[in-house]
């Protein structure tokens, strides 16, 4: 399992346009793995009965289950190379509004179907190749009313819903300290831990600019560059919540920060406004608050908090927040540090990056909710704004901005009293 996690490579790029023509013998990265290849996905039927069909190069096993609020069907598959045409899943048919696909963990892929209303999985099966047709995964949905839908959820012996990627990561790290520190039996690493959290990933593309520019790819590239820059000084240990195109639930991102006793958590995103919502520009730094600082911050937090629903995580399984006086005290201190870092970061970023006209905001971001880890969420800019997008895809802009963030981190830790942060 660990070996598989370590050997996992960047062989697949779900949803990108760089896919070979469907049905062609696929050269390039995909050929280097033995993962099953999905070459086409299509919908058939109407608003009463809708069928989802996925063409494969070999039969696979899978499981499918439904989720409510919003209505979704999730298909968990072994790791699959999706070589589907760009735009696949954007338009729906019948009961299926849209669908997404991507990696959820090393060895595991997922397809999430967004439903137009309650539906039950009438049949699901894999057909062997026959009559010139490739092996196919078929899922048949039937419209039901909400009561029947909810009853069918209760009857199901629910499989493990959580993709478990973070659990795998944490376990892998715990089991292989050698890989992290290189020195066996050395003194424990006392350097502050910085967790860098590139938003979205896998089935969750994040915001999208007109072409093929996806937030999940932009912020991953930025996050990895930031990691490399911060690690150069040797003063910090950096942990990434993801290093490839994998979906990680929001709560698992928070869990990584807490289990690492992180001294700082930085979530990286890029925003977008819909057409007709104006043309905002520049970077914004967000901290956690119960009440959003303005309507735009609230809209953004709602959008970012949808990540789990997009990725097919059952939100009702999330534990409710613990109200505890001790946690509140820690939270107050954490909040002070979060705000302080946000201000330092703004002071540095404004030298290199174009900032939003109100660059410091707050709202109820679920990913910022570790009670004991100072956390900020940075929206690097708007992919919907032409000038911002030029920056976001430019390597020189990225280098400059990564540099200013690294400087802010140095300043923050230089001024931090010894008692600051989780300080265990
Ligand atoms: Zn985002």
Distance 14 CA to ligand 1 centre (A): 17
Buried b (16+ CB within 10 A) or exposed e, 166-178: bebbbebbeeeee
Distance 44 CA to ligand 1 centre (A): 32
Distance 199 CA to ligand 1 centre (A): 5
What pLDDT is stored for residue 125 in this prediction? Answer: 93
What pLDDT is stored for residue 325 in this prediction? Answer: 60
Whether the model pTM is above 0.75: no
Distance 180 CA to ligand 1 centre (A): 28
| Residue 147: other Cβ atoms inside 10 A | 9
Distance 145 CA to ligand 1 centre (A): 33
Distance 51 CA to ligand 1 centre (A): 31
- Residue-wise pLDDT tens for the chain (424 aa)? 333 333 333 233 333 333 333 434 434 444 457 899 999 999 999 999 999 999 999 999 998 988 888 899 999 999 999 999 988 999 999 999 999 999 888 888 999 999 999 999 999 999 999 989 999 999 999 999 988 888 777 655 444 444 433 333 433 333 333 333 333 445 678 899 999 999 999 999 999 876 678 999 999 999 999 999 999 989 999 999 999 999 999 999 999 999 999 999 999 999 988 877 778 899 999 999 988 999 989 999 999 998 988 888 876 555 545 455 666 767 888 999 999 999 999 999 999 999 999 999 999 999 998 988 999 999 999 998 889 999 999 999 999 999 999 999 999 999 765 544 444 4
Please return the burial class of 55, using the count of CB atoms within 10 Å of its CB with bins 0-12, 13-18 and 19+.
Answer: buried
Distance 256 CA to ligand 1 centre (A): 18
What pLDDT is stored for residue 171 in this prediction? Answer: 38
- Residue that has been written with the tokens 């911060």 in this structure: 230
What pLDDT is stored for residue 25 in this prediction? Answer: 41
Distance 204 CA to ligand 1 centre (A): 9
> 266 CB contacts (<8 Å, ≥6 apart)?
194, 195, 196, 197, 226, 375, 376, 377, 378, 405
Q: Could you list which residues have their CB under 5 Å from ion ligand 1?
A: 199, 206, 269, 304
Distance 417 CA to ligand 1 centre (A): 32
Q: What is the chain's Cα-based Rg?
A: 22
Distance 209 CA to ligand 1 centre (A): 13
Distance 200 CA to ligand 1 centre (A): 6
DSSP reduced 3-state for 230: helix
Distance 178 CA to ligand 1 centre (A): 33
What pLDDT is stored for residue 119 in this prediction? Answer: 93
Distance 318 CA to ligand 1 centre (A): 20
Show the tokens assigned to 215.
């937030």
Distance 276 CA to ligand 1 centre (A): 20
What pLDDT is stored for residue 68 in this prediction? Answer: 83
Distance 101 CA to ligand 1 centre (A): 17
What pLDDT is stored for residue 60 in this prediction? Answer: 93
């Amino acid at each position: 399992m660990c070996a598989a996690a370590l050997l996992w490579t960047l062989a697949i790029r779900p949803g990108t346009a760089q896919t070979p023509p469907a049905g062609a013998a696929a050269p390039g990265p995909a050929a280097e793995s033995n993962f099953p290849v999905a070459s086409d996905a299509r919908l058939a039927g109407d608003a009463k009965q809708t069928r989802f069909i996925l063409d494969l190069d070999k039969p696979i096993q899978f499981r499918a289950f439904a989720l409510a609020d919003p209505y979704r069907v999730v298909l968990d598959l072994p790791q699959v190379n999706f070589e589907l045409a760009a735009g696949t899943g954007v338009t729906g048919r019948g009961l299926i509004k849209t669908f997404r696909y991507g990696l959820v963990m090393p060895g595991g892929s997922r397809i999430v179907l967004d439903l137009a209303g309650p539906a039950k999985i009438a049949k699901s099966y894999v057909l062997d190749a026959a009559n010139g047709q490739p092996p196919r995964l078929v899922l048949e949905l039937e419209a039901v009313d909400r009561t029947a839908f909810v009853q069918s959820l209760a009857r199901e012996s629910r499989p493990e819903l959580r993709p478990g990627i973070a659990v795998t990561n944490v376990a892998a790290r715990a089991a292989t300290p050698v890989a992290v520190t290189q020195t066996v039996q050395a003194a424990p690493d006392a350097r502050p831990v910085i967790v860098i959290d590139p938003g979205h990933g896998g089935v969750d593309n994040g915001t999208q600019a007109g072409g093929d520019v996806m937030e999940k790819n932009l912020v991953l590239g930025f996050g990895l560059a930031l990691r490399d820059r911060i690690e150069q000084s040797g003063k910090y240990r950096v942990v990434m919540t993801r290093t490839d195109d994998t979906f990680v639930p929001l709560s698992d991102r928070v869990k990584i920060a807490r289990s690492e006793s992180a001294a700082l958590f930085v979530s990286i995103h890029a925003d977008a406004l819909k057409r007709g919502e104006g043309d905002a520009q520049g970077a914004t730094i967000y901290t956690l608050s119960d009440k959003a600082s303005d309507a735009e911050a609230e809209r953004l937090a709602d959008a970012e908090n949808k990540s789990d629903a997009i990725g097919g995580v059952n939100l009702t399984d999330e534990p409710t927040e613990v109200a505890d006086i001790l946690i509140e005290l820690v939270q107050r201190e954490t909040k002070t540090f979060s705000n302080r870092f946000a201000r330092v970061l703004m002071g540095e970023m404004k030298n290199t990056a174009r900032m939003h006209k109100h660059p410091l905001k707050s709202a109820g971001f679920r990913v910022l909710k570790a009670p004991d880890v100072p956390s900020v969420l940075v929206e690097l800019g708007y992919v919907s704004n032409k000038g911002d997008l030029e920056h976001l895809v430019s390597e020189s802009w990225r280098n400059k901005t990564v540099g200013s963030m690294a400087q802010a981190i140095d300043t923050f830790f230089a001024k931090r009293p010894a008692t600051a942060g989780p300080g265990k």
